[in-house]
Structure 1
Amino acid sequence: MTPTGVLEPTGPNRALGGTGWLDRLLSTPVAAPVERSRPLRDIDGYEHRPNPLHARTTAEFLLTMRRYVVWAGDWSYRELEYLCGGAVKHSTFCQVLEGDRLPRYVFLMAFVTACAGEDEAERRRWVTAWHRVRDAAAS
């Protein structure tokens, strides 16, 4: 059965023919996936990884996020979307990272996943900093 047949509850849609636009779209090869390089650590004494724990305000937190993207691999917004498994769209990465509001928790987790992979220590650093900035802004 062709992919167009799946879309019709009564069976294949004969009006589209066997090689409809959806068949052609689904058979189009996609670009090569983005590969995350193995995270390299700076040598001792030359730690350049932006530290979110230094941020005290929302503006400082967002600046640290932008610097972290560059440090992690200078990913484009579309690459970040791919690296977080599509949990956050590239347009949302653009809005948040170029905006002036503290991101939501779900966005933060997608951001850390996109930049650092499954590094649990890195997640804890970012969540701790996020809680600290959010609590300070609420006061």
Structure 2
Amino acid sequence: MLEDLDALSRRIQTVVQFAQGLQAERRALQARIQQLEKECQALQSQQAHEHDEFARMSERVARHDQELQAVRDETAQAHGALESQVRDYQARSDTLQQRLDTTLTDYDRLRVVAGDAQQQIELILERLPGAEA
């Protein structure tokens, strides 16, 4: 019976050691769980911060896109106005060039007519009585 009690005592010691090992393992696991929960909270906080930052950056990008589109629209409008002015100035230039060409043609014609008139006047003057011969 003593042997049975010794065997039972050894078994109880083994069970106690096993229970103590399980308790130590449980404490280690609980500590690990707490550490993981803290890490999880830190990651959630970081994620929230990054989400807020992403939202701010998205708003900035949207604003910049709107500003860029406004500048593009303004540039297109200015470009259209400049093209219109260029067409107007080109038309005026063409008109002035035509007038200049007409004026130069008239000038040349009048010079020829004036030369002819000068010759006729000289001929008339030569025929007048008392004209030098």
Fold agreement, TM-score > 0.5:
no
Q: Which has the higher helix share?
A: 2
Greater Rg by CA: 2
**Structure possessing the higher relative contact order (Cα contacts under 8 Å, 6 or more residues apart):** 1
**Smaller-chain TM-score range?**
under 0.3
Relative to the length of structure 2, the TM-score reads 0.20
